[in-house]
Amino acid sequence: MKLSGVELRRVRMPLVAPFRTSFGTQAERELLLVRAVTPAGEGWGECVAMEAPLYSSEYNDAAEHVLRNHLIPALLAAGDLTAYKVTPLLAKFKGHRMAKAALEMAVLDAELRAHDRSFAAELGSTRDSVACGVSVGIMDSIPQLLDVVGGYLDEGYVRIKLKIEPGWDVEPVRQVRERFGDDVLLQVDANTAYTLGDAPLLSRLDPFDLLLIEQPLEEEDVLGHAELAKRIRTPICLDESIVSARAAADAIKLGACQIVNIKPGRVGGYLEARRVHDVCAAHGVAVWCGGMIETGLGRAANVALASLPGFTLPGDTSASGRFYRTDITEPFVLDAGHLPVPTGPGLGVTPIPDLLDEVTTEKAWIGS
Ligand SMILES: O=C(O)CCC(=O)N[C@@H](C(=O)O)c1ccccc1
């Protein structure tokens, strides 16, 4: 199919509560949406970059600039286009995986809608719903944390992920275990906040039977994670370090991780995300779907991805209401701790025009 043009939208959505991680606190989600227009119809993509390069080197202004000036022009010049051609066509441009992922997602959505085929069918889904975990930020106090965790358990979430950082790690985990018991599926996410020298501290998490500790060390310290894995019992899961299927294969071979968090934006798209899934499955490594506080568009695609067979751990595929009072699509609502896998063509959801316009801060059209 021919790409007629692409609309870029900057969107700002308030969060229901500030979300604090080891790299900062967010009170709203500012993101970039991509609408690919073709003669056969249109498709939507969501860029998961943040407003500032705090999680990764990407950020919204850079993503918009590289899309507008390099990535979209390359696809406009390509003539006949399919989603599977996007990554090869953009390979000459280094990095910018989240920007590339958003563009590929929009082209894939347009293509699948035109063929009346869902993301789930295309990716290889084997389930019609997925078990959902929830990510809990760093709180001002332990009592506040316990209230929030209790609320999510009451809502039915099947797994709790606690953000940790030096000074907020062992004690919050201990108190959650004491209050809610040993049966709650519990894991922690450090977002690179520790060093190998913290191994003795991190080994104090071992008695709490955590599912995993996510990305304790910095993104590029793969060998450090392999060394840490010899010093703590809690399984190590990597997030920021896994930027491709190749990176996953290398990290697994080096013993740097026993579990992988797959985020399509971080690895360059949903097609590469499936390759990461396949590589991990080939090594017997469990995966789960990470979240980047997506709107219902990215959430729909993530739930489809999370329904592949290797996704054996609950992901950060929470309900829309975890972060947003009003989503820009029909909201995803938890049902007995699960979300249904969208079955409609493409993403299976579309933005509700009035709601999207309310949160749009700027628009740009690139194309004929
Ligand atoms: O459930 C969600 O969508 C958020 C899950 C979550 O904690 N995401 C974190 C992370 O470090 O993984 C994050 C959010 C936004 C941006 C970067 C990272």
CATH of the domain at 220: 3.20.20.120
Place of tokens 């060390």: 217
If asked whether residues 355 and 311 sit together in one domain, one would say no
CA–CA dist 43, 104 (Å, integer): 10
Residue 368 has a pLDDT of 79
CA–CA dist 305, 310 (Å, integer): 10
If asked whether residues 58 and 164 sit together in one domain, one would say no
Of the listed 2, 100, 161, 163, which one is catalytic?
A: 163
If asked whether residues 144 and 226 sit together in one domain, one would say yes
If asked whether residues 304 and 356 sit together in one domain, one would say no
If asked whether residues 63 and 207 sit together in one domain, one would say no
If asked whether residues 332 and 361 sit together in one domain, one would say no
If asked whether residues 70 and 83 sit together in one domain, one would say yes
Q: Which domain holds residue 165?
A: 121-340
Predicted-assembly ipTM surpassing the 0.90 threshold: yes
If asked whether residues 136 and 241 sit together in one domain, one would say yes
pLDDT by residue for the chain (368 residues), tens only, comes to 999 999 999 999 999 999 999 999 999 999 999 999 999 999 999 999 999 999 999 999 999 999 999 999 999 999 899 999 999 999 999 999 999 999 999 999 999 999 999 999 999 999 999 999 999 999 999 999 999 999 999 999 999 999 999 999 999 999 999 999 999 999 999 999 999 999 999 999 999 999 999 999 999 999 999 999 999 999 999 999 999 999 999 999 999 999 999 999 999 999 999 999 999 999 999 999 999 999 999 999 999 999 999 999 999 999 999 999 999 999 999 999 999 999 999 999 999 999 999 999 999 999 97
CATH number for the domain spanning 81: value is: 3.30.390.10
pTM score, whole prediction: 0.98
Residue 278 lies in a domain: yes
Report the nearest atom of ligand 1 relative to the CA of 161: 7
Please give the tally of structural domains in the chain. 2
> Is 263 known to be catalytic?
yes
* CB 194 near ligand 1, within 6 Å: no
If asked whether residues 150 and 94 sit together in one domain, one would say no
Determine which residue's CA is closest to atom 18 belonging to ligand 1.
292
If asked whether residues 180 and 287 sit together in one domain, one would say yes
If asked whether residues 105 and 133 sit together in one domain, one would say no
Give the count of alpha carbons within 13 A of 331, CB side only: 13
* CB 261 near ligand 1, within 6 Å: no
CA–CA dist 98, 221 (Å, integer): 21
If asked whether residues 267 and 148 sit together in one domain, one would say yes
3-state secondary structure of 271: helix
Residue 345 lies in a domain: no
Residue 177 lies in a domain: yes
* CB 192 near ligand 1, within 6 Å: no
